[in-house]
Amino acid sequence: MQHFLQISDLSRQQVEALIERALFFKQTGQFPSYQNRAVANLFYENSTRTRVSFELAAKNMQISVINLDLQTSSEQKGEVIEDTIKTIAAMGISSVVIRHKQDGLPQLLAERCLNDSLHIINAGDGQHAHPSQAMLDMMTIVASKPKLDQLKIAVVGDVRHSRVVHSLQALCALMGIGELVMVAPELWQPDVISFGRVTTSLKEGLEDADVVMCLRVQRERLLETEQLDLEHYRAHYAITPKTLSYARSDALLMHPGPMNRGVEIDSEVADGAQSVILKQVQHGVFMRMAILELFC
């Protein structure tokens, strides 16, 4: 594998190997050392979890990390992103972690910056894909509920604009998840689904669910025609103690973050006994170590 761009590029064996490796890092605390390697983080969109965990993952393996400050980089003088990447590759940086608002840009850059020793890692592109998030989410699910073919996963919220859900659908199909149901108001339902089904009913969608994944209301991505009254949304789709009780009593509550407390999720459940939201964050470091190691 030369790049880490989208889940559909992976085989089931590769996914299982990455999860096994990430769980090994978590369980043993034994980390390999790749002192002669360097990775650059290029985040053109805001991020806390993904940027910090890729940085920490690299540092855990003694990989040098360059966080390019895009406000002071030569892109402010007109350099195009392709030349930025070729420039840092010429300095010996072999992996570039990129987040960008443009769907498909990591793939485009991988095609344009042809160089056998350069690896592009997609840290989230527009509404298209967020493959490392899907991988850490699957790691979190596998760690608690390994019988994947018997699981019902319910995803709730702004499915239409969610790159997390696009990657999750591909990963659930690949891993043979029993059932994936996406719960969303009609305005926030996707035009195309690759796996699972969609419903507007929170109660029906959550019934017997083993995993409930709550999505952020992505206000920055909503078009004028896609705006919903947030009080109406809360009344019908928020994850609260009452609505979480529609799912199985041992269901995992997940959220990729960042959360809008009091909008799509209530603090009682976000901080409650069923929440694995901070475990997702913890797993993100180990999963990103496993992903970076692919290119060391």
Q: State the residues that interact with ligand CP by CB under 6 A.
A: 47-50, 124, 133, 256-258
- State the nearest-atom distance from the C-beta of 169 to ligand CP, in Å: 16
- State the nearest-atom distance from the C-beta of 123 to ligand CP, in Å: 7
Show the tokens assigned to 153. 């996963």
Q: Do the beta carbons of residue 42 and residue 70 sit within 8 Å?
A: yes
Question: Looking at this protein, which amino acid is placed at residue 220?
Answer: E
Which residues neighbour 253 within 8 Å (Cβ) at sequence distance 6 or greater? 212, 214, 239, 244, 269, 270, 272, 274, 275, 276, 277
* Residue 63: other Cβ atoms inside 10 A: 24
- Decide whether 53 or 243 has the Cβ nearer to ligand CP: 53
* Residue 201: other Cβ atoms inside 10 A: 12
In whole angstroms, what is the distance from residue 22 CA to residue 280 CA?
12
- State the nearest-atom distance from the C-beta of 124 to ligand CP, in Å: 6
User: Exposed/middle/buried for 190, CB within 10 Å: 0-12, 13-18, 19+?
Assistant: middle
- State the nearest-atom distance from the C-beta of 53 to ligand CP, in Å: 8
- Decide whether 189 or 218 has the Cβ nearer to ligand CP: 218
- Decide whether 106 or 124 has the Cβ nearer to ligand CP: 124
Show the tokens assigned to 221. 């991505």
- Decide whether 89 or 172 has the Cβ nearer to ligand CP: 172
Helices (H), the chain: 12-28, 49-60, 81-90, 105-112, 131-144, 163-175, 202-206, 230-237, 241-244, 267-270, 277-293
- Decide whether 157 or 246 has the Cβ nearer to ligand CP: 157
- State the nearest-atom distance from the C-beta of 114 to ligand CP, in Å: 28
- Decide whether 89 or 283 has the Cβ nearer to ligand CP: 283
